[in-house]
Structure 1
Amino acid sequence: MPELILLLLAGLQLKHFVADYLLQTPIMLAGKGDLGHPGGYAHAAVHLVGSALVLVWAGLPPMALIGLLALEFVLHYGLDYLKARYGGSAGHAETPRRYWALHGLDQFLHQLTYVGMLAMVVLILR
């Protein structure tokens, strides 16, 4: 099982890069700090689909997979919302130190989400 978990972690990290840096649109970026804007939800949905493509290889029971994906959707949206709402004014050029600190914290928390998801995978597959 350690090999499976490492492969899943690498898959989730690749998915995160693709979803956050290659597939994110201006509409998604604009909507992250507004609960009524569809952009943030669309971005979280891209992450959900990507995670589904990775986690399906774990062989989880369908309800466990759906639960993990729902949890990731809520956590991913929530983290992005908080960053946009409370750190959104930290522009790269105006306040680079604050910008990079918030960006790094955001990415760190997303990666911790994947560690937590994989811990649940281990518990489910035992």
Structure 2
Amino acid sequence: MAVLLTTLIWLQVKHFVADYVLQPEWMIGDKGNFRKPGAYVHAGIHAIATIPILLLSSMDAIWISAVASAEFLLHFLIDHLKAIYGHRQPHSIDTRSFWMLHGADQLAHHLTYSGILAAIIWHGALLSG
């Protein structure tokens, strides 16, 4: 139980740093365009930063690689969909619709972390069972 809570806390700290501290304007501006590198780099930062956090869970290298790869893909797709919708339906930062879209994006990312915790539990059950 302590491993799960510690993992969740570190994933949330990592999310804040990767989404708000380490994301310059060029990454933000590149989202929604498969031909530009920003969204790939951003999702890569998330996936790479997740790897040392997963080491806390005693997962083996194959599981860690699979979970980090899944996080890369999911993070990229969540951000891509938000960017596409945001470009088609622009919302000013002082509107309810902007904050609903931002909140939905953040919820999707945090539900990804619930999936990571489920993978840790599943991995542990496979090892013990």
Same fold (TM over 0.5): yes
Q: Which amino acid aligns with 1:115?
A: S
Q: Match of 1:64?
A: 63
Q: Runs ≥4 in structure 1, deviation > 6 angstroms?
A: none
Question: Percent of aligned pairs with the same residue?
Answer: 38
- What is the correspondence of 1:1-126 to structure 2 with a 5 Å cutoff? 2-88=1-87, 89-93=90-94, 96-126=95-125
Which secondary structure state, in structure 2, belongs to the residue aligned with residue 92 of structure 1? coil
1 CA distance for matches of 2:68 and 2:46? Answer: 9
Question: Could you tell me how far 1:106 is from its partner in structure 2?
Answer: 0.4
Return the alpha-carbon distance in structure 2 between the equivalents of residues 116 and 18 of structure 1.
20
Q: Summarize deviations over 1:62-116 as a string: whole Å, max 9, x none.
A: 11100000000000000000000012422314xx111000000000010000001
Give the C-alpha shift of residue 117 in structure 1. 1.0
CA RMSD of aligned residues (A): 0.9
Shift of residue 57 of structure 1? 1.4
State the TM-score, normalizing by the size of structure 1: 0.94
The total of aligned residue pairs comes to 123
Structure 2: runs of 5 or more not aligned: none
Structure 1 unaligned blocks of 5 or more: none
Structure 2 distance, partners of 1:119, 1:77, is 20
